[in-house]
Structure 1
Amino acid sequence: MYAIGIGENKKEVLKAYEKLKEEGIEVELIDNPKLLVDKLINGEIEGAVRGSLSSSKVIPYLRERIGKFYRASVLKNPFTNEIFLLSPVGIDDISEGKNERIKDKIKIIEFASKFLKNHNIEPKVAILSGGRLGDLGRNKVVDETIYEAEKIVEHFKGSMDIIHNGILIEEYLKDRYNIIIAIDGITGNIIFRCLGLVCKIPGYGAVILSDKDINFIDTSRNANWERYYNAVKFLAGGDFG
């Protein structure tokens, strides 16, 4: 049994529910954020999808129950049709302060790499910063993002395929990088909305990255039915179709 949260955007959640039911996948619709999380943590359901419930009600309570975690949106690469992870995508996923941000991004890379390896995908990591490398010196904020990205690459040097080439997300995707690290959660959230909700790139929601084994997928309340459907299908099958 799986569960989808149902709040706003009920129509799209119900479409996903009916499609899953037709395929013989048992799904419960839950309109209470705490109940959704509690049922998952208590083992009453095998997996949960946030669905269209409010993030500000579900995510803080989930953190209260399992501790710190990060979110990574799973999207189809428009150039290769392979999946890639985009993280962070939660506006509160990254701590404030330069050193804390770097530590959080390092953790995200470690968790995301493990996630892909568990699905027999070799991780290739690309770090985004605020401009081209040749823009260094034009803007202090952009400069800081470039320096930060370089420090992260240096941390992993020699241990994985990791690159920093500035703001060029399109080049990263063409080169089949499958973990894209955004500047922060706000930037990541905007990128997700542009790709997933505006350009309609297929996706599976955002998986939870943490040291806990939890089958929860975060989804936008503005998503179409296919994202809710894909999220439950992934939880039920453990792979990306």
Structure 2
Amino acid sequence: MYAIGVGKNKKEVLIAVENLKKEGILVETVEDSEELIQGLLSRKYEGVIRGTLSSSEVIPKLKEKIGRFYRASILKNPFTGQVFLLTPVGIDEIKDDFSDKLDIIKYSSEFIQAIGLIPKIGLLSAGRLSDVGRSLKIDESIENCEEILKKVKNSNELMNVQIEHRGILIEEYLKDGFNIIVADDGISGNLLFRVFALVFEIEGFGAIILNSEKVKFIDTSRSGDSKRYYNAVKFLKNGF
């Protein structure tokens, strides 16, 4: 059985639950964030979806139990039809730009390998590589990505991943089938997610949790429609 949180906005969640039940997939709705997290960690549920419960309630409780983590949205590439991860998408998830991004690359690569794909990582920075000198912020962003690129390429732990830094050119990464896009920071990642998923309605499956615990939890936007909640449960069941 799976569980999905329900807050003030229930309509889209309940539509998703009914559609899943028609396929024989049992989903329980949970109105309390503590109960949802406890059900996840006790293995009462095979997997958990945040649904429409408030992020400010659920996410801190989850961090208390499993430690710090990052989130990566699972989206369908509009050019290739394959899934890719966009990360980080939590606006406050980057504390140290260098070390946090290395952790994100490690955990997202492990996830991509777990679902049977070869990690192909694109690092996003604040401008084209030729834009160095236009502003301090752009320079720092580009330099940081170049350092991360060198570190990953010299890492024995990440020797099987493909990684490139093409600056701000996200369209190139997607056209070339990169399956992990590492945003410049959590704010730009969140903005990209909202443009992709909520403005242009690119099909998505919610956001997985990236840390060493590998919990089966998918974070979903309260602004999502029933299809996203449906997709999130289906991904938990079939994807990992």
Task: Indicate whether 1:126 and 2:125 are aligned.
Answer: no
Q: Within 1, Cα distance between the matches of 2:52 and 2:230?
A: 12
Q: Within 1, Cα distance between the matches of 2:195 and 2:116?
A: 28
Per-residue CA shift, 1:20-75, capped at 9, x if unaligned? 11111111111111111111111211110000111111101100011111110000
The offset of 1:196, in angstroms, is 0.5
Structure 1 unaligned segments of length 5 or more: list them.
none
The corresponding residue for 1:199 is 200
Supply the AA of the counterpart residue of 2:219.
D
The offset of 1:219, in angstroms, is 0.5
SS at match of 2:141: helix
1:1-241 equivalent positions in 2, closer than 5 A? 1-95=1-95, 100-157=96-153, 159=159, 160-238=161-239
Q: Within 1, Cα distance between the matches of 2:177 and 2:237?
A: 27
Q: Within 1, Cα distance between the matches of 2:239 and 2:166?
A: 32
Per-residue CA shift, 1:198-239, capped at 9, x if unaligned? 100001100111100311000001011111101111112236
Q: Within 1, Cα distance between the matches of 2:115 and 2:25?
A: 22
Question: Larger deviation: 172-181 or 37-46?
Answer: 37-46
Contact 1:125 1:179 in 2 (8 A): yes
Q: Within 1, Cα distance between the matches of 2:92 and 2:190?
A: 11
Q: Within 2, Cα distance between the matches of 1:119 and 1:197?
A: 25
Question: Larger deviation: 186-195 or 8-17?
Answer: 8-17
Q: Within 2, Cα distance between the matches of 1:213 and 1:114?
A: 10
Supply the AA of the counterpart residue of 1:63.
K
Q: TM-score, normalised on structure 2?
A: 0.95
The offset of 1:9, in angstroms, is 2.7
SS at match of 1:68: coil
Supply the AA of the counterpart residue of 1:9.
N
Give the share of equivalent positions with the same residue, in percent.
Answer: 54
Q: Within 2, Cα distance between the matches of 1:25 and 1:161?
A: 36
Q: TM-score, normalised on structure 1?
A: 0.95
Contact 1:8 1:221 in 2 (8 A): no
Contact 1:72 1:209 in 2 (8 A): yes
Q: Within 2, Cα distance between the matches of 1:151 and 1:86?
A: 20
The offset of 1:138, in angstroms, is 0.5
SS at match of 2:86: strand
Aligned length: 235
Structure 2 unaligned segments of length 5 or more: list them.
none
